[in-house]
Amino acid sequence: MTGLVTGRALGLRVCAHCRATVRAPGTAPCLCPRCGGRVHVRKPNSLATTAALLATAAFLYIPANLLPVMHMRTFFDVEDDTILSGVLTLIQEGEWPLALLVFVASIVVPLLKILALTWLLLSVYRGWGGNIRGRSKLFRLVEYIGRWSMLDVFAISLLVALVQISALATIQVGLGALAFGAVVVLTMLAAQSFDERLLWDTGDRG
Partner 1 sequence: MASVIVCHACDLAHRRDAVLPAARVRCVRCGAELYRTNAVSIDNALALVVSAAVLFALSNSYPMVTLELNGSFRDTTLLGAAIGLYSQGYAPVAALVLLTSLLAPLLEIVALFYLLIPLRRRARAEAQNEVFRLLTRLRPWAMPEVFMLGALVALVKLAALANVIPGVSLFSYGALMVVLAALTYVAPAEQFWHWAEGRVQ
Considering only residues 21-60, where is the footprint of partner 1 by CB under 8 A?
21, 23, 34-37
Please give the backbone phi and psi of residue 70, each rounded to the nearest 5 degrees, phi first: -160, 135
Say how many C-beta atoms besides its own lie within 10 A of residue 28's C-beta. 8
Interaction between residue 67 and partner 1 (CB under 8 A): no
Interaction between residue 10 and partner 1 (CB under 8 A): yes
Q: Which of 39, 183, 186, 188 binds partner 1 (CB under 8 A)?
A: 188
How many amino acids of this chain bind partner 1 (CB under 8 A)? 72
Q: Indicate the helix (H) or strand (E) that contains 170.
A: strand 169-173
* Binders in 126-165 for partner 1, by CB under 8 A: 132-133, 136-137, 140, 147-148, 150-164
Interaction between residue 112 and partner 1 (CB under 8 A): no
CB contact set of 125 (below 8 Å; sequence gap of 6+):
47
Binding segment for partner 1 (CB under 8 A), chosen from 45-53, 108-116, 119-127, 166-174, is 166-174
* Binders in 70-99 for partner 1, by CB under 8 A: 74, 89-90, 93, 95, 98
Q: How far apart are CA 103 and CA 99, in angstroms?
A: 6
Handedness of CA 194, 195, 198, 200 (dihedral sign): positive
